[in-house]
Amino acid sequence: MIAYHITDACIGCTLCAQHCPVDAIPAVPYAKHVVDVDKCTACDTCRVVCPEHAVEIVRR
């Protein structure tokens, strides 16, 4: 199974949170975001919209 992890490259722009269809990423501006793995459906939207390429796919 895979999970999404947001790295230290995150600038807190909230684009991933704004585009997440299941609200698995709380939108806290200017802070490193965290993916709630219990809510995440692995749709890949967060990784695609991240301008800093800060979202990684990891094995769970």
pTM to 2 decimals? 0.91
> Number of folded domains in the chain?
1
* SS3 per-residue string spanning the chain: CEEEEECCCCCCCCHHHHHCCCCCCCCCCCCCCCCCCCCCCCCCHHHHHCCCCCEEEEEC
Q: What is the CATH number of the domain that holds 3?
A: 3.30.70.20
Query: For residue 54, is pLDDT > 90?
Result: yes
Q: Tell me the residue range of the domain where 38 lies.
A: 1-60
7-29 pLDDT tens trace:
999 999 999 999 999 999 999 99
Query: For residue 1, is pLDDT > 90?
Result: no
